[in-house]
């Protein structure tokens, strides 16, 4: 049974955006604002437990900077820092700073050719999604995605299922007709709670996460000359990349 729609997470799934993208942009925003907040690669890995950039900054101050005296207008500061971070991040994407992960372009192309609908469910800011699609996929790629659920359109971010409910409602589809693509435990919990079968492609930040309940866990989607590595699956058979044939089999399980 062919899935009617593929719903993609963005950060860590379409591209490895976190370590060399979001993290760098947060640090640039902190420097610009004259703050001594610095997020190194390891600390950022810990901070990723909290989804959403504004939420992540608040968590950092609460958990790691008891010394920091919050100004009365702390909410305004967070909003300003986040706007600056989005500016730095989208500029970095505009310079071609972040490529797509292996197999992403191929699978999106195959879905379009075969009439499988495409959507996005992410906690990241809409401008970040637009920039990644435009600069890393194709100038018109945003129009390939029927629904883009992003950022603050729902109040509760992943691992809450709200963003997937939002996307499913706009697609007009039951979760059983779709497949989700995620890279993290928070993403998997969100998709699962919305009733979606989920394909996981791990990255360096998420390799050790708990992916119980995922339909399949891979190191990447695979290319003809770069077979995927399987971390967990009951049914890969002789497949070496994620294509619609494999997705049909997963979906039918």
Residues that bind ligand XBP (CB under 6 A): 9-12, 18, 22, 51-53, 85, 122-125, 128, 158, 184, 186-187
Q: Which of 46, 124, 42 is nearest to 82 (CA)?
A: 124
Would you say 186 or 243 has its CB closer to ligand XBP? 186
Distances (CA, A) of 97 to 100, 208, 245: 10, 26, 32
Beta strands in 73-214 (DSSP E): 117-122, 147-150, 178-182, 197-201
> CB count, 10 Å around CB of 134?
16
Would you say 123 or 239 has its CB closer to Mg ion? 123
Q: What is the largest CA-CA distance in the chain?
A: 60
Would you say 128 or 192 has its CB closer to ligand XBP? 128
Would you say 205 or 228 has its CB closer to Mg ion? 205
> H or E stretch including 84?
helix 74-94
Catalytic residue among 11, 16, 162, 183: 11
Among 11, 16, 162, 185, binds Mg ion (CB under 5 A): 11
> CB count, 10 Å around CB of 66?
8
By a kind-dependent CB cut-off of 5 to 8 A, residue 22 interacts, out of Mg ion, ligand XBP, none, with ligand XBP
Give phi and psi for 145, each to the nearest 5: -100, 115
Q: Which of 214, 220, 209, 219 is nearest to 235 (CA)?
A: 214
183 is catalytic: no
Binding span for Mg ion by CB under 5 A among 22-30, 124-132, 183-191, 222-230: 183-191
DSSP state of 50: S
Among 3, 6, 12, 92, binds Mg ion (CB under 5 A): 12
Residues 187-226 that bind Mg ion (CB under 5 A): 187
Helix (H, G, I), strand (E, B) or coil at 73: coil
By a kind-dependent CB cut-off of 5 to 8 A, residue 52 interacts, out of ligand XBP, Mg ion, none, with ligand XBP
Q: How far is the CB of 122 from Mg ion (least distance, A)?
A: 7
Q: Which residues are catalytic?
A: 9, 11
**Residues interacting with Mg ion, by CB under 5 A?**
9, 11-12, 183-184, 187
């Amino acid at each position: 049974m062919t899935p009617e729609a593929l719903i993609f997470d963005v950060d860590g799934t379409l591209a490895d955006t976190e370590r060399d993208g979001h993290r760098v942009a947060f640090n640039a925003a902190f420097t610009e604002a004259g703050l001594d907040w610095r997020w190194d690669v390891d600390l950022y890995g810990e901070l990723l437990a909290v989804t959403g950039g504004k939420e992540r900054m608040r968590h950092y101050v609460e958990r790691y900077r008891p010394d920091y005296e919050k100004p009365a207008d702390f909410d305004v500061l967070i909003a300003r820092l986040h706007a600056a971070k989005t500016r730095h991040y989208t500029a970095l994407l505009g310079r071609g700073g972040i490529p797509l992960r292996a197999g992403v372009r191929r699978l999106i192309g195959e879905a379009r050719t075969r009439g499988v609908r495409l959507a996005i469910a992410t906690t990241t800011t809409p401008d970040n999604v637009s920039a990644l699609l435009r600069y890393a996929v194709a100038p018109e790629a945003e129009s390939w995605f029927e629904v883009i659920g992003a950022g603050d359109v729902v109040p509760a971010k992943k691992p809450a299922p709200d963003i997937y409910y939002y996307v499913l409602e706009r697609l007009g589809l039951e979760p059983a007709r779709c497949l989700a693509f995620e890279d993290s435990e928070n993403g998997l919990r969100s998709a699962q709670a919305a009733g979606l079968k989920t394909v996981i492609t791990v990255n360096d930040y998420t390799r050790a996460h708990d992916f119980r309940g995922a339909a399949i866990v891979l190191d990447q989607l695979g290319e003809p000359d770069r077979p995927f590595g399987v971390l967990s699956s009951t049914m890969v058979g002789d497949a070496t990349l994620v294509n619609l044939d494999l997705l049909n089999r997963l979906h039918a399980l």
